[in-house]
Amino acid sequence: MTSPSPLAADEAVRFPIGRAQLPTAPLTAAERAPYIQQLADLPAQLTATARRVGGERLQLPYRPGGWTGRQVIHHLADTHAQLYSRFRLALTEDNPTVRPFDEAGWAELPDVVATPITLSLSLLDSLHQRWVILLQHLSEAQWQRTFYHPRYHTTLTLEQALVQYAWHGRHHLGHLELLDEPVK
């Protein structure tokens, strides 16, 4: 039996649930429902995983050169606040251009070390409750509204963004779960 190449192993750690696969055709309400549920479930899953991992291990990176568990949790709060705003912009403006931000730079700001993760977990819980309520009330036409992301030179529909952002939460939950594995 051969062992995986270092590149394949790194890819598996960087993308523990694989890469996002965005829909290319409109989704039905039934097809959107699991993604909305993933957003609804994420805060509780993050909180449970953070408790299992424990404070000391959350100070460790999930991979060499990667963020610490603490940085991942604060990143999710920072990013998902931005993502929620993107939905609101797309619902109130015609194909707005969203503003990218320096995620790595934000992860290095002093509040990431100084702020208890419980604050970001609480923020995510409230934010996701509000976001899910919004998503549950969108019309079919609203799901097809768009925004433009200049970093990726991509226009996304709100349902493509839903799939992307549900993946984003599960992706980083996978990183925290790597910290929960026994140390080798």
Question: Does some domain include residue 8?
Answer: no
Q: What share of the chain is helix, strand, coil (3-state, %, to 5)?
A: 65, 5, 30
Question: Does some domain include residue 169?
Answer: yes
Give the HSE-up count for residue 152: Cα atoms under 13 Å, Cβ half-sphere.
9
Question: Does some domain include residue 132?
Answer: yes
Residue 141: both structure tokens together: 């036409």
80: which residues sit within 8 A by CB, 6+ positions away? 124, 127, 128, 131, 165, 168, 169
pLDDT at 181: 78
Q: What is the mean pLDDT of the chain?
A: 94
Q: Which of 139, 128, 140, 110 is nearest to 168 (CA)?
A: 128
Question: Does some domain include residue 16?
Answer: no
Residue 60: both structure tokens together: 């460790």
CA dist 32 and 22 (Å) reads 12
Domain count, the chain: 1
Q: What is the pLDDT of residues 72-107, one digit of tens each?
A: 999 999 999 999 999 999 999 999 999 999 999 999
Task: Quote the DSSP letter at residue 19.
Answer: -
Question: Does some domain include residue 99?
Answer: yes
CA dist 181 and 184 (Å) reads 9
Question: Does some domain include residue 22?
Answer: no
Question: Does some domain include residue 85?
Answer: yes
Query: CB atoms < 10 A from the CB of 161, how many?
Result: 23
pLDDT at 122: 98
pLDDT at 44: 98
Residue ranges making up the domain that contains 173: 31-179
Q: What CATH number does residue 172 fall under?
A: 1.20.120.450
Rounded to whole angstroms, what are the CA distances from 89 to 25, 52, 96, 141, 164? Answer: 22, 37, 7, 15, 17
